[in-house]
Every structure is written in C-alpha cells, then in structure tokens.
Amino acid sequence: MWILVYIVIQGGEVFSTSVDLPFADMNECFEARDMLSNKVGKGNGYFLPGSQAVCVYTDENEAT
C-alpha cells in the first residue's frame, strides 16, 4: 500500500500530512501526486520552494 505525504517547511518548522486515502499501487500514488502539484504547486509534478510530496510504501498489515 502507498501513502502520499505532503511536506511543507515554514519558519524552520517541518509540517507534514498524508493526502487522500492509501493507494493500492505506486502508479496511483504518483498520479495523485501530480494532481496535488497542480493544486498547490507549479504543476507537472513540481512544488513550490519549501514543499514537496512523496509516495511512501507501507506494509499492508501495518496498523496505521
């Protein structure tokens, strides 16, 4: 399972949040990342300085 994590650095502090529901595969997560970049970034997978989104693989059996 894949989780999209959005990271923002403001005033030297790091903030992060998971975006959307877990994804079954990496491609679904990357598509959601691209869509997020269109909403809050520069688009085409690019984000504003001080921000980034990453797809993180997690174990399906892991309690979240």
Query: pLDDT tens digit string along 36-57?
Result: 999 999 999 999 999 999 999 9
Instruction: Give the model's pLDDT for residue 12.
Output: 94
Instruction: Give the model's pLDDT for residue 13.
Output: 97
Instruction: Give the model's pLDDT for residue 21.
Output: 83
Reported pTM = 0.86
Q: Classify residue 62: in a domain, yes or no.
A: no
Instruction: Give the model's pLDDT for residue 62.
Output: 60
Q: Check if the beta carbon of residue 21 is closer than 8 Å to that of residue 29.
A: no
Instruction: Give the chain's domain count.
Output: 1
Model confidence at 20: pLDDT above 90: no
Structural domain boundaries, residue 14: 2-57
Q: Classify residue 49: in a domain, yes or no.
A: yes
